[in-house]
Amino acid sequence: MLNSFVYFDILPSTRRRNVQLRFSSITALLTTLWLITPVKAETPCSGKHKQLQQINSPPSPDLSVRNNKPLLSQNNANLSPPAYLQKPPWEQGVGKHRKIVPYLPDKFSSQVKQAIDSVIDLTKIPNSSRPDGSQITPPPLSAPELLWSQLLPPPEELLEPPATPEVPSPSIQETITVDKFEFTGNTAFSEQELATVTEPFTNRPITFAELLSARTAVTKLYTDNGYLTSGAFIPPQSLDGGSVTIAILEGGLDEIEVNGTKRLNSGYVRSRLEIATGKPLNVQHLLDALRLLQLDPLIENLSAELSTGSGPGTSLLTVTLTEANSWSSQIIANNGRSPSVGSFRRGVSLRQANLLGLGDGLSVSYTNTDGSDGIDLNYSLPINP
């Protein structure tokens, strides 16, 4: 490459720069012409260049013989290497004497196509196992997973109740003949009253269901007369003798619980209810006692609840009340006195109706006339039988 510049010291700096630029342009033009000049690939190197080519070129191996055995036949001895091992058409020579063939605008497309076909074409690679696109088949789809609804049995089998095991029924005669019924535990009704109720089930063959009906008739006798917590049952016994025993459980109160008291003693309420709640418990008598207690001036409001007790045949009575005001006062004014001491009397009275919480009352009064003064003191204590 020509790389020389000419300087003129006698010229001014402006013209010197112009001359330098002119010579630089000439140098670039000559370099371009040298690069685009085609070089013949078949022209062998001679002289010194030939020696350099021999030095840089590796010795070609003898592909026809290995270990004194021929490898190539006469037919394929002159085979050329594959296209991807051949040099591209734009590279010529060996080593540093390799030449680059420039791309000309009119031959650019053909050279690019030739370079792509010789380098990138994979179909020219020997032993290529790349399958054709038409030969590629997708792998078989795996079977879809079974749903839970397919693994579980149908709902009819899941919800079907298990079979009830057969239990041998006790050996009971189809019918029995009862001569009389005997009763135990009865206090509210006599033997004759109970026998009257069970008379339709005696002196004839009856089934076990009719025997239970006789027990129900005795229970109904108690409930119809207000003994709601009482009932009858047939205890275990032998039914061969012609006599059947019916046991009666008469209910009573286990405890009376009083809530809402302040100054009033709970025993005051309990003692008045225990008179009507003796065993057997009669609900009608209990209601009468509650109504009477509601009229007491010490009680403003009252409610009661009957629930199951701690043992069989027992009940719990819970009473909730609101106390009334036990203080009262009075002003006295009248003309009922004798004229000798003064016919006009005036005074004041103060009363506590529940002094000690037992329903006892204390009253104090003071009266005065023109000729007399009086003080009255009164105390009362209720006593229940």
Q: pLDDT tens digits, residue range 294-341?
A: 999 999 999 999 998 888 889 999 999 999 998 999 998 888 777 777
pLDDT for the residue numbered 292: 92
Q: What is the mean pLDDT of residues 146-174?
A: 56
Is the Cβ–Cβ distance between 128 and 122 less than 8 Å?
A: yes
Residue type, 136: I
The model's confidence at residue 25, banded by pLDDT at 50, 70 and 90, is low
Angle between helix axes 283-294 and 266-274 (nearest 10 degrees) is: 140
User: What is d(CA 358, CA 354) in angstroms, rounded to the nearest whole number?
Assistant: 6
Q: Which residue's structure tokens are 């021999």? A: 54
Tokens in use for 235? 């205890």
Asked whether residue 74 carries a pLDDT value surpassing 50, the answer given is: no
Asked whether residue 379 carries a pLDDT value surpassing 70, the answer given is: yes
User: pLDDT digit string (tens) for 220-277?
Assistant: 999 999 999 999 999 999 887 789 999 999 999 989 999 999 999 999 999 999 888 8
User: What is d(CA 87, CA 57) in angstroms, rounded to the nearest whole number?
Assistant: 14
pLDDT for the residue numbered 366: 92
Cβ neighbourhood burial of 202 (10 Å; 0-12, 13-18, 19+): middle
Per-residue b or e along 251-271, where b marks 16 or more CB atoms closer than 10 Å to that residue's CB: bbbbebebebbeebebebbbe
pLDDT for the residue numbered 173: 54
Angle between helix axes 208-224 and 191-198 (nearest 10 degrees) is: 130
Say if pTM beats, i.e. exceeds, 0.85. no
pLDDT for the residue numbered 344: 84
The model's confidence at residue 56, banded by pLDDT at 50, 70 and 90, is very low
Is the pLDDT higher at 14 or at 383? 383
Helix (H) or strand (E) holding 35: helix 13-35
Instruction: Say what percent of the chain tops pLDDT 70.
Output: 55
Bridge-based pairing of strands 252-259 and 205-206 is: unpaired
Q: Mean pLDDT over all residues of the chain?
A: 73
